[in-house]
A = this chain, B = another copy of it.
Amino acid sequence: MTPTSADLLITGCTVLLHDDHEHIGFRDDAAIVVRDGVVESVTSAAAVDGIAAAERVDARGQVALPGLINCHTHAPMAALRGLAEDLPTEEWFNDVVWPVESNLAAKDVELGARLACAEMIRGGVTCFADHYFAMDEVAAVVAECGIRAHLGEAYFSSQGPQGRERSLEFALRHRGGAGGRITTALAPHAPYTVTDSDLAATAELALAHDLPVHLHAAENRDQTDTSLARHGVTPVEVLDRTGILDTDVLIAHGTGIVERDLPVLERAQGRTAVATAPRGYLKFAWPTTTPVRALRDIGVPVGLATDGAASNNSLDVWESMALTSLIQKSTTGDPRWLTSRQALHHATLQSARAVGLGEIVGGIAPGRRADIILVDLTGPHTQPVHDLAATLVHSARSSDVRTTIVDGRILMRDRELLTLDVPAVVRELGERMPGLLDRSHGRRIQEYDT
């Protein structure tokens, strides 16, 4: 059926498509018809000649991809980018980051989130899974700037039961917010900062309220070793015995997932996924990375992520995609593993599944929300194109994203952000910085330790 009108019409581009087996292919000289925030059809440029459209984007020379999804971050920490450098994880957190974080006011969280959303929209990220405090501020920024987000209010057991209650209250209040762009999760921090009984209570709440869980677990091998030494079980086994694996759970990092965890994850009753943010693992000199291949073998999707900018220095999911491919090849010793098409599968459908939106976004197909980015491949660094998937993963950069669209709304056009004022955010953050960096009030209520 040929459409007769559209809210948004994107013409002349090459479109990344998934076939029935989820293999990635490309359709040249295509058009994307968007109505009511949804992809109505992907057709030929010729088929839409002359149809009426409220908004048109001429995308010749560009490739349309599903918007990237940042499956685990702490958006407000963009305010702390570069604050604690070249340190081991514990010093990074306990000596610098946490003392500053304990100073953060709601306004700082808001400004950090705004800066983060600006960076992500410019880098082609249309959805992010956030795990932080004062998340009402983040939800407000999401509503305002038009991005999609999966939000969870973090808590430690050291906060008492109020932490968990706030997390639940946040998740219920914001679920479906921002015109459906906000989904929510319960967000316990990690098995080493949340007790088993609190994790069990979280699992019960998740099932009772049909909420997913987003938490850190088995972040690195040290955590797994320490958990084994202290409790005789791995962090993943803790998730199992506390019922967390009966919920839909998004595990951040998982570089400490070990062989014995694999059957546990495989028989999990809920939908389990892992978010990988490889840059930080290198920077902290962790001995392992997320076991993507082993997780693939047991059917656990692995989404791409950046973690927060205070450790990762950027929220560049494009870089996460390239690094995931490179580090997987390197750590498995197999240059044939994690091809560019596999990397694009992680960046699209697997990332969408990781944040519980596997049927909603992650592909450009009729019925899916119109979260689309347009990537310019005319630069010298992306020419010639012998293998488009390789060009996208290994040669293109986040700065090649020209246009970012969420729910059919253009948030960046030709590199210009339409919903966020970066200079104003930077100015206001700069004014607040002296107070933010005053660590004299820093209290260590939480150790980043196992």
Contacts and interface: CB of A to CB of B under 8 A. Distances in A.
Interface of A: 78-83, 85-89, 115-116, 118-119, 122-123, 279, 281-287, 309, 313-316, 325-327, 329-330, 332-337, 339-340, 378-381, 383-387, 390-391, 394-395, 397-400, 420, 422-423, 425-426, 429-430, 433
Nearest to A400: B399
Contacts of A123: 381
6 contacts: A81-B384, A81-B395, A82-B394, A122-B379, A286-B330, A383-B426
Contacts of A425: 380
Nearest to A329: B285
Contacts of A118: 380
A425 B379 CA distance: 11
Contacts of A282: 326-327, 329-330
Contacts of A78: 380
Contacts of A379: 119, 122, 422
A384 B333 contact: no
Given A115-B383, A380-B420, A380-B422, 10 more contacts: A80-B386, A81-B383, A82-B395, A85-B390, A85-B394, A86-B335, A283-B326, A378-B423, A380-B425, A399-B399
Given A326-B283, A426-B384, A82 B378 contact: no
B386 A314 contact: no
A429 B81 contact: no
Contacts of A330: 281-282, 285-286
Contact of A335 (B283, B337, B423): B283
B380 A122 contact: yes
Contact of A285 (B281, B314, B332): B332
A425 B281 CA distance: 40
A399 B246 CA distance: 45
A387 B122 contact: no
Contacts of A86: 329, 335-337, 339-340
A327 B385 CA distance: 28
A322 to B, nearest CB: 9
A419 to B, nearest CB: 13
A385 B115 CA distance: 13
